[in-house]
Each structure stands twice: as C-alpha cells, then as structure tokens.
Structure 1
Amino acid sequence: MDQGMLIGLVSFGVFLLFLVGVPIFLVIGFWVVGVSIIIDFTLANIGFTLFEGLNFFGLLSLPLFILTGDLIAAAGIAKRLADFAHACLSWMRGGLGLATISSCGLFAAISGSNSATTATIGGIMHPVLVKDGYDSRFAAATAAAGGTVGIIIPPSIIFIVYGFLMNLSISDLFVAGIMPGILMVLAMQGVCWYLAKKNGWGSVEPLDMKRVGRTARRAYLGFFAIFIVIYGIYSGIFSPTEAAAITVGFCLIAGLLFTREIKFREIPTILLRSGQLTGMLAPMIAISIVMQQVFGLLGAADAVANFVAWFGDSEVVVLLVCMGIVMAAGCILESLPVTVIFAPILAPIAMAHGVDPVHFSVIFLVGAAIGFITPPFGLNLFVASGTTGIPYSKIVPFALMYLGGLLIAWLLIAFVPWFSLAMAPGLS
C-alpha cells in the first residue's frame, strides 16, 4: 500500500474520531503522529516542537486576556456597559436589540473571546429582550451574532494566535481589527433594526440624557479598561502582553474594591475557569506547529496554490476563493483549528498576489468569526442555546438573517483595504 493511500486512511480515521466528538487537539495529534510514521518523519521532533511552539513571550497575553474576560463578567462591568448601551439606544425601534449588539462590541474590546462575549451578554440581555417583547429565538440569535466580534475587536485571542503563526506584529493586527469590528457591529445593528421595525419588537422610550449620563458614570470602569488596552497598544506605551497584564490587575482591583462584586473566595474559581480555557487553546497552538511541518513535507501549500490558481490569477479571484475556503472550513470547525490549518497555507498565496499580510489577516479572521453562526457547527449558536435554553435548531433561522449582514460587511472589508489598514501605523 503506497504512502498516499495510507495517509488517506489515517485522515479518514481521524475524521471519524472528530465526528464522534473526540477533542480537536487529539484528532490533529493522532493525524500528525500517524502521518509522521508513514513518511518517516522523526517522532522526536514532535516533543521538541510542542515545547518550543509555546516558548514565546507574546503568547503570555493569551491566558491574561482570557482571564480579563472572566474578571469583567464577575465584576459586573459587563452589566454596566450593557445598561449604558441601552440608555443611548432606547429611543430607537429595536433599541434593546441594538444595545445588545453594542454591548457585545464593548465587552469584546476588553475580553477578546467570542464565546465569553456570547455567554456573558446573552445571559444578561436575553431575559430583558424577551420581557421587552422580542421573540426569544431572535433574542438568542442576537447574542450569538453579536459574539462574532469577540475575536475581531481588539484585544483578540485569535489575532494573537494568528500573529504568532504568521510572524506578524500583534499590535498591528489589533489595531487593524478596530474598524472592521465596528463595521460588523453596524451591519448587525442594521439587520436588527429592520427586523424589529418589521415585527414591532421592543418598546421605544424618549432619549433621557440624565439616564445616559448616570449609566455612563456607572460604566466608567469598563471604559477605562477599554482605554488601557486600545490606547496603550496603539500608542506603543504597552506591548499586547503588558496591556493584558495591566488590564487583569485593573479588573481584579475594580471588582474587589469598586464594584465589590468579586469576593476573595471566588478568585480561585475565576482563575480555574480561565485556566481551563487556556488549557484547551495552548495545546492546539503547539500541535499546529508540528502539523505545519508535516504539511510542508507533504506539499500541501503547493496543492492549495494550484487549486486557487485554477480559478484565475487576479487578486479579486484569489481573495474570493480564499474566502470561500475559510467560509467552508468555518461551517464545520472552530476558529482556532481553521486558523492553524489554513492560515499558513492561504496567507502566502494571498501575499503572492499582492494582498497586504495584515489586511489578509483581518479578511481571514472575519471569515472565521462568521463561522461562529454558520451551521452545522456554529459555536456561538451552541453557546447561546446553552445560555438561554432555546434549542439550537430554533436559533439557526434567525442567525441566518444576521449572516446576510455580516457577509456584506466581510466583502467590504475584503475589497476596501482602508478599513483594515487606515489605523495601523505605516500600513495605510
């Protein structure tokens, strides 16, 4: 039996493991070990690369930003940001839905996680949306869709991974994600406003500037945390890792001394929850480095390049094909495996056709984010279902309405580089 057939059998076997629910880290690990044996690639390399893959200072920001998300939820900062967003938008039809999406954007600007954004904001806003007359399925879909910006608006956990894999400045990637993230928020708000107006969902209240001022004062801790991250990184005062450490310290002090919603006895539980998520992501990053080496030996990059070239050689065609691949992968995989598998293959192809590497990173990761509400996988749909108790299948039709708005935003981001590069120093 030749190598190609053996590799095919190993790939089919691990695909079956994926279908029955084996963790993706183990699925990729089994494939790497099996293929390494078939092609006589030394197994000693796996242990060495697993260690060296994580021996990188910039990755320290990963667990810190994960911890930040848990701290701002526990400290009540997320609830105060949501109250402020509602106060600003309650005068519009669908104002509470618009505020939910805005709250996701504000939460994302501190946490960097899609699932944390969906779970936290969904848990806060879903009961309020239903009480205000929104369809409960639409309310759950709104939280799921809003969570997509969790990995685009900086700080972004997946941008850290992408920058590490592709040797790009994480600070530049963070800054490049600001305007695309805002554009995604506006696109989803447009969908929400249209559907709320069409169906008569939600109440309309006069704009109360006193209420806006009052909620803004209560949310000042959240605004300051956002300021620390974005201004500190954008101005060069902090590296992403330093910004993450400072933000963790600030959110912990804020929860203990200012909002007083974090108790000392709860700190170990918060740390454990953050550690569990870090323990899921870190092995994926490490094994991805080994997988890239195996892909290189198998000539996977050349095969994909030839496939893309089959459609044409123009930049527009190449981008559309790459976007299609990311979209298809996002339907069945979470953003991390999509990134570690396809970014090292697609990014060089796009750059060879004149696409700026930072711009392509945003295109790639916006597509991966859209996958969070794209069936059959749609991680945010599962998170929203678990948070709200609405069955997954009943959330999907409403999530697809948001999908249309996000696809329009994605095309604008892809073919108008200004959105990604205007704020990145030296890239516009």
Structure 2
Amino acid sequence: MSDGTIVTLISIGVTILFMLGVPVFLVIGYWVIGMSFLLSLPLLNVGAALTNVFTDGFALLAMPLFILTGDLINRSGIARRLSDYAYACLGWMRGGLSMAALGACGLFAAISGSNSATTATIGSMLHPEMVKGGYDERFSAATAAAGGTVGIIIPPSIIFIVYGFLLNLPISDLFVAGIIPGSMMVLAMMSAAFLLSWKNKWGVLIGLSPVRILKTFIGAWLGFFAIGLVLWGIYTGKFSPTEAAGVTVGFCIIVGFICLPLYRLFGLSEDRSVEEKSFGEFFLVQGFSPIELPSITMRSAQITGILAPLIAVSVVMQQILSVLGAQAVISEFVTGMGGYYAVLFTAMAIVFVSGMVLESLPVTIILAPILAPIAHGVGVEPVQFAVIFLVGASIGFITPPYGLNLYVASGVTGVPYFRLLPYTVPYLVALITVWIVVALVPELSTALLPDR
C-alpha cells in the first residue's frame, strides 16, 4: 500500500471521528500520531510541543489570563451592569433589547476576548428577558450566538494572541487593528436586529430616560474602567498584552473582594430594578468572596486546558503538512488565481469554508502561516490580512455544520440547534458585508495603528 493511500485512509478515519463528535483535539492528535509513524518522525516532537506551548511563547500566557478575566467580570456583576447600560441606551427603539444584547456582547468582548464566553454570558442573562419582552426565542438565541462573534475581534482577543505568536506580529498592533472592524460588526448586526424586530413587531419599548441612562452608566463604570485600562496600556506601550491581562485580572479580583462586603454591609441587592436603586448603589457591584475564587479559577483553567493542547497539536500538524507539501500545493493554487484581489478573495473563500467545519483556533493555526505569506507577496499589509483572516474565522462561529456559538447558544437557552439556524441568516449577511468592506478598505484595519 502506497504512502499516499495510507495518508488518505488516516485522513478519512479522523474525519469520520470528527463527524461522530470526537473532540477536535483528539481528532488532530490521532492524525498527528498516525502521520508521525508513517513519516518516521519522532513522537518526542509531539510531547515537546505539548510541553513548550506556553514556556516558549510568552505572549500565549495572556490567553488563560483573559479567560479568567471573563469569568471574573461575569461573577462580580460587571457584565450585568454593562448589559443594563446598553438596554437603557437602546431600549426605546424597536428591537432595542436585541440591539442592547449585541452592544453588551461588544462591551463584554472588550474585556474577556472570548467568543464562547461572550455568547454564554450574554445569552444566559438576556435571552430570558428577550423572550419575556415578546421576542421569538429562536431569534433571541441566534442573537446571542451572533453577538459572540465579536469576542475574537474587539480587543483583547485570544485568537489575535495566537495569530501574533504564529506569524511573529506585534500583538498590540493586532489588538488596535481590531477596534474599528469589531465595532462595525456590532453596528451591522444591530441594523439586522432592528430590521427583523421592526418587521415582526418584536419587543416592548421603554421610555428614553436620561436618568436611567445616567444611573446605568454609573453602574457600568467599573467595566468601562477595565476596558480603558487594557486599551490604554496596550496602545501607549505601558505594558504588553500579557501584562495587560495580568493587570486586568488583578483589578477584577480587587473589585470583587472589596465590593462584596460593602454590598452586604449596606444590604444591597442586584434583584431590584434600575428605578428602585439610588445613584449611590451603582458605584458598587455584587462582587465575590475569596472562597469563590478557586472555583472561578478552576473553570477558567478547564477552558485553558482545552485550548492549550489544541494549539500544541495543531503546531505539530502544521509541521507535518509542510513535510507532506500541503503548504506548497495551497500556495501554488492561491497564487495561481492571479493578482491582488483574486488572491485575497480566494484566501477569504478558503477561510470561510474551513470555518464551516473547524473551530477558529485550528483554522488559524493551520491556515494562517500558509495564507499570510501569500497575501503579503501580492501586497496585502500583514496586520490588515490578520484582521481579514480573523473576521472570516469569526463568521465561522455561526455557520453550520460546526458553528461553535450556535451550540453554546443552544446550550444556555435551551433552543434546539437546528431551530435557531434560520435566524442566523440576517446576521451572516451583515457580517459578510462588513468582511468584504474590511477587505476592500485597508484603512479600516490600519488607521489607528501607531506611526501610520
């Protein structure tokens, strides 16, 4: 039996495992081990990759810290305050609560850097409120799933950290480059939500109240401070993304520890409505106790324990694909398409199709090192291509059959996966439109970069 036949059989076998629901880490791991035996590569290479994934990449240390940040702001009540502020600003419009959910996703993403955490947190908080407010439950779940896509575009972003690590690009530049495209994604999805809500007469309107807006703005000040702290520190160069993650975690822990005893001392409660609370109550959030910190940290560690091995085996997979000549084949195919726009849109098509069947992390690790040099060769600025690539990868979170955010939204809302699919279509159209605009207008990615 030829080596080519064996490669094909191994690839078909792991594809079947993936379709049967085997975790992506194991699927890639089985393929890597099989290829290592076939090519007589030392298995020590796999073990070294698993061991060195964080020790050799200082930037990757930011990933578990930002994951922990997301859990801390959710548990402390900061995420709820950000949602309340978004609703106070937008609730007077038709579809205001759905747009507020998307706005809250953008605000939460600006602290957590995770798509699944954004979808799970905002979905679990606002889906019941949307259903009570007269929205279709399928639309509500789809809104949470779509809103989570900005989790890896609006800085800080876990995937931007991985991309910068792989392509040796300044992560701070990548973070800054994601601000405008991420904001455009939120606004585009808000427009889609408004049109759908207006057509179907969904939502109960609330009055536009400057007092309510001011109260909720005061209540969200800790969230805005955390967002500003991260962006200020990275943009001014005061600290690296990894240091920024550490500073933000420290800030959230201090806030949680200080606010809880004060909240109890004054007999405050998050269950009361905005109108019932005084201005003074909004300066504090619910917080959490030191006893809760280990369980919060353990949850974040579990997520990191899923992502880190996946990065490691994907790096080895990338090396094996290089040995097999896959990179050369893809490069020849893409470059053979012609000039600047042909190469760019071919690369985008590859990312889009890959995102339909793979999570953004393996898509990034496997394809970015192949496509980025090709794009750079035809004149695409590396930071701009990073944004183009990752906006496309983020769209994959709501494209079946994989669509990770769809599964997360289904899990936290109880709406079956296939029932919410039709309501993702308007969001897909909005996101793809933004994606094309970002690809055609480089300044949207590079305008805020230093020295530009």
With normalisation by structure 2, the TM-score equals 0.92
Partner of 1:48: 48
Counterparts of 2:53 and 2:64, CA distance in 1: 16
Identity in percent: 58
Partner of 1:379: 404
Residue 76 of structure 1: how far off its partner (Å):
0.6
The one-letter code matched in structure 2 to 1:163 is G
Cα pair 2:335 2:374 within 8 Å, conserved: no
Residue 166 of structure 1: how far off its partner (Å):
1.1
Partner of 1:36: 36
Counterparts of 2:351 and 2:125, CA distance in 1: 31
Residue 346 of structure 1: how far off its partner (Å):
1.1
The one-letter code matched in structure 1 to 2:96 is G
Partner of 2:241: 240
- Tell which deviates more after alignment, 112-121 or 260-269: 260-269
Cα pair 1:254 1:260 within 8 Å, conserved: no
Cα pair 1:300 1:345 within 8 Å, conserved: no
Tell whether 2:324 aligns with 1:298: yes
Residue 309 of structure 1: how far off its partner (Å):
3.1
- Tell which deviates more after alignment, 140-149 or 52-61: 52-61
Cα pair 1:152 1:180 within 8 Å, conserved: yes
Tell whether 2:411 aligns with 1:410: no
Tell whether 2:285 aligns with 1:284: no
Counterparts of 1:63 and 1:124, CA distance in 2: 23
Cα deviation 1:181-229 (Å, max 9, x = unaligned) = 0000011011011111111111233321111111111111100000111
Counterparts of 1:335 and 1:249, CA distance in 2: 28
Counterparts of 2:286 and 2:203, CA distance in 1: 32
Partner of 2:271: none
Partner of 1:129: 130
Cα pair 2:53 2:308 within 8 Å, conserved: no
Cα deviation 1:335-372 (Å, max 9, x = unaligned) = 11111111111111111111111111111111110011
Cα deviation 1:122-164 (Å, max 9, x = unaligned) = 1111111111111111111111100100010011011111111
The one-letter code matched in structure 2 to 1:391 is P
With normalisation by structure 1, the TM-score equals 0.97
Cα pair 1:82 1:100 within 8 Å, conserved: yes
Cα deviation 1:362-392 (Å, max 9, x = unaligned) = 1111111001111111111111111111111
Counterparts of 2:130 and 2:299, CA distance in 1: 28
Match of 2:349 among 299, 315, 324: 324
Cα pair 2:233 2:239 within 8 Å, conserved: yes
The one-letter code matched in structure 2 to 1:424 is L
Residue 292 of structure 1: how far off its partner (Å):
1.8
Partner of 1:308: 334
**In the TM superposition, what are the counterparts of 1:186-205 in structure 2 within 5 Å?**
186-205=187-206
Residue 280 of structure 1: how far off its partner (Å):
0.5
Partner of 1:226: 227
The one-letter code matched in structure 1 to 2:366 is I
Cα pair 2:145 2:409 within 8 Å, conserved: yes
3-state SS, counterpart of residue 265 of structure 1:
coil
Residue 61 of structure 1: how far off its partner (Å):
0.6
Counterparts of 1:44 and 1:108, CA distance in 2: 38
**In the TM superposition, what are the counterparts of 1:412-427 in structure 2 within 5 Å?**
412-426=437-451
Counterparts of 1:425 and 1:90, CA distance in 2: 37
Residue 14 of structure 1: how far off its partner (Å):
1.4
Cα deviation 1:9-42 (Å, max 9, x = unaligned) = 1111111221222221121122112112212223
Cα deviation 1:257-281 (Å, max 9, x = unaligned) = 1224312222111111000000011
Partner of 1:17: 17
Partner of 1:120: 121
Tell whether 2:383 aligns with 1:358: yes
3-state SS, counterpart of residue 208 of structure 2:
coil
Name structure 2 gaps, 5 residues minimum: 260-284
**In the TM superposition, what are the counterparts of 1:176-191 in structure 2 within 5 Å?**
176-191=177-192
Cα pair 1:338 1:368 within 8 Å, conserved: yes
Counterparts of 1:13 and 1:89, CA distance in 2: 50
Counterparts of 2:197 and 2:44, CA distance in 1: 58
Name structure 1 gaps, 5 residues minimum: none
3-state SS, counterpart of residue 264 of structure 1:
coil
Counterparts of 1:49 and 1:382, CA distance in 2: 29
Counterparts of 2:201 and 2:46, CA distance in 1: 58
Match of 1:401 among 423, 426, 438: 426
Counterparts of 2:248 and 2:145, CA distance in 1: 25
Residue 295 of structure 1: how far off its partner (Å):
1.5
**In the TM superposition, what are the counterparts of 1:100-111 in structure 2 within 5 Å?**
100-111=101-112
RMSD over equivalenced CA pairs, Å: 1.2
Counterparts of 1:21 and 1:120, CA distance in 2: 24
Residue 50 of structure 1: how far off its partner (Å):
3.1
3-state SS, counterpart of residue 305 of structure 1:
helix
Count of residue correspondences: 426
Cα pair 1:334 1:379 within 8 Å, conserved: yes
Counterparts of 1:286 and 1:271, CA distance in 2: 22
The one-letter code matched in structure 1 to 2:4 is G
Residue 52 of structure 1: how far off its partner (Å):
3.1
